[in-house]
Amino acid sequence: MFSWRFHLLRLLFACFFISALLPFIFSANAQAFKDPITVTSQTDTLNFPKSIDFQMSAHDASSTITQATIYIMYGARGYQEFHTVNATPPTGTVTLRWHEEITSSNFAPPGTPISYYWRVQDSANNNHTDNPQNFTMTDTRFFWQHATQGLLQVNWYNRTQDFGQAVLSQASTNIKRISDNLGGGLQHPINLWVYQNANDFHGALPPQSYEWVGGIAFPSINQASIVVDSLVDDTLRRDMPHELTHLIFHQLTFQDTAPIWFDEGMAVYNQLYKEPALTNRLKDALASHSLIPLKTISLDFPADADQAYLAYAQSWNLIDYMFNTFGRNKMALLIKDMNNQQTDFGEDLVLALRIDQAHLENQWHLYLNQPATLAPSQLTPAAQTHQPIAQPSTVDNAEPLLVLLGILLALLPMIGITGLLVYQRNARTSNQLARQAQQIINSTLPPLSANRNLPYMSPATYASPPPPSAPWPSHYQQAPVRPASRPQAGGYTAHWGPPATPGAEHQRELSSPFTYNQEYVNQPPEKRVSQE
């Protein structure tokens, strides 16, 4: 009995001793696992269009800080880069800076959302990643005023509130008209930046832009800029609807599926004003039978100014022909089909209009009394049946309508019986096919992001994942995108590369952060624009 009680007392004493030590054990472990690095401050100072200065201060409670890496993301998803700054000498408290040049290879237009964070490392190999910071690229040369209606925001400076409201009203009216033509409206907010004169506007253009640029659109970030001298300026009827068309069109379609002739032709088609020189250039080409083949202007417009101007003119004429031939409903269906990630533009044409690009081009040439682009042996019967939609007639249409009604009454029962038979046959296999399709999708595709407004970039500009040692926070990961079918720009695509920066490790994940539409006005390009 004594032995049993003795062992019980020993057990109780051991439990009491261990319970008394537990707070000290957990406290020591907590100290061991506690992050010794604290970021005490971080700032970003924008000097558009020249640079961004990032600064970060940090303190290490147990060691010395050796370096810090800043990770920067331009745009909602896409262009990423990182730069490592060494602490010389390593100390427990540091203030490190990164000077980001944005005048050339790293240009970002006004309206670009920018996110960044710092990752700090000390001599004991402790790593601290701070929370991401966010700001928007703004042209800091001016004090901007803003007005909003629906998903549209207009930004201007040095003008009255009435001026901004007038531009907002015209832009909203344009958006409604363009949306009716395209079969759909804005899906995401857009910004329109209105510059007072060409000199101010040129200072906000990407490197190597031409001085004739009258408007520019960045569909990947839903931004556009124009120059407006006054409320009676032709740019409000030409450049503004042109750029708005680009933004709306690319929100309605899966990115990079349309050839540039379709993209730019649609934008010119929606202009309220087309300068006479555009029509005259097309007439000259028709007189000399020198239209540019569509395959030549599918990926890019010519570098030659005169040929590029012709590309705009004939692209507009072809889009106008398509609307007159197939009707607005069919054109809206084509644009809707272009949002299908599984088909390209050629397949979309056939699905919506029952014609491929080769036969479309041939039919358009014949309509303009131009030489055929296909030999008779290449023609298909279905492709020869499309004619421009006839204009409304003043003849009484009552009799044809009655005949049509009688035919429909005779055909409807047969159509209904046929449809019922087809439905019964397909119903037996539809569930099985749906299950198989879903299994294939689930096994091959990653989950899509909720944001469908994917970046609009050339194939060379897609971002690689950040370095494995310091991944971007999960909610900033780039969504998977379909490889682009063409680079996107209004006649020119700028390609940038990282500048050499001695004494600092840096990496840019893309060769170019943005591509864009830069639009022709009625003057030839002569020299490049310099940023101020």
pLDDT at 213: 76
pLDDT at 40: 95
Q: Count of CB atoms within 10 A of residue 145's CB?
A: 16
**Each residue's pLDDT expressed in tens, for the chain with a length of 532 residues:** 556 666 666 666 666 666 665 555 545 444 445 789 999 999 999 999 999 999 999 999 999 999 999 999 987 655 788 999 999 999 999 999 999 998 877 788 999 999 999 999 999 999 999 899 999 999 999 999 999 999 999 999 999 999 999 999 999 999 999 999 999 999 999 999 999 999 999 999 888 776 667 789 999 899 999 999 999 989 999 999 999 999 999 999 976 679 999 999 999 999 999 999 999 999 999 999 999 999 999 998 988 889 999 999 999 999 999 999 999 999 999 999 999 888 999 999 999 999 999 999 999 999 999 999 999 988 886 554 455 654 433 334 444 544 454 555 555 555 554 554 444 455 444 434 333 433 333 333 333 232 323 332 322 232 333 333 333 333 222 222 222 222 233 322 222 223 333 334 555 444 344 555 655 544 433 333 333 3
pLDDT at 20: 60
Is 116 strand, coil or helix?
strand
Structure token pair of residue 60: 């290490």
Helices 305-337 & 260-269 angle (0-180, nearest 10): 90
Vertex 221 angle, CA 216 and 226, to 5°: 25
> 């009394």: which residue's tokens?
369
Cis before 207? omega within 30 = no
Side-chain half-sphere of 440: how many Cα atoms within 13 Å?
Answer: 6
Q: Count of CB atoms within 10 A of residue 330's CB?
A: 16
- Cβ-contact 251, 453 below 8 angstroms: yes
Which 8-state DSSP code applies to residue 376? G
Side-chain half-sphere of 481: how many Cα atoms within 13 Å?
Answer: 28
How far CA 511 is from CA of 166, 251, 255, 463, in Å, comes to 39, 24, 19, 9
pLDDT at 501: 35
Structure token pair of residue 58: 């940090």
Structure token pair of residue 307: 């040929």
Q: How far apart are CA 13 and CA 17, in angstroms?
A: 6
- Cβ-contact 260, 301 below 8 angstroms: yes
Structure token pair of residue 164: 């901004």
- Cβ-contact 264, 232 below 8 angstroms: no
Is 171 strand, coil or helix?
helix
Pairing of strands 93-101, 190-195: unpaired
- Cβ-contact 282, 314 below 8 angstroms: yes
Q: Give the helix/strand (H/E) hosting 363.
A: helix 357-367
Vertex 409 angle, CA 408 and 411, to 5°: 60
- Cβ-contact 386, 352 below 8 angstroms: no
- Cβ-contact 296, 260 below 8 angstroms: no
Measured in degrees and rounded to the nearest 5, phi and psi for residue 89 equal -80, 165
Pairing of strands 152-156, 190-195: parallel
Measured in degrees and rounded to the nearest 5, phi and psi for residue 387 equal -130, 150
Side-chain half-sphere of 169: how many Cα atoms within 13 Å?
Answer: 7
Nearest C-alpha neighbor of 179 from the set 256, 254, 251, 105: 251
pLDDT at 117: 95
Provide the whole-model pTM: 0.70
Q: Which residues 6+ apart lie within 8 Å of 18 measured at CB? A: none
Decide: residue 430, CB within 10 A, 0-12 exposed, 13-18 middle, 19+ buried.
exposed
Structure token pair of residue 288: 């000399």
Partners of 97 in the beta sheet? 55
Q: How far apart are CA 50 and CA 106, in angstroms?
A: 10
pLDDT at 24: 53
pLDDT at 414: 56
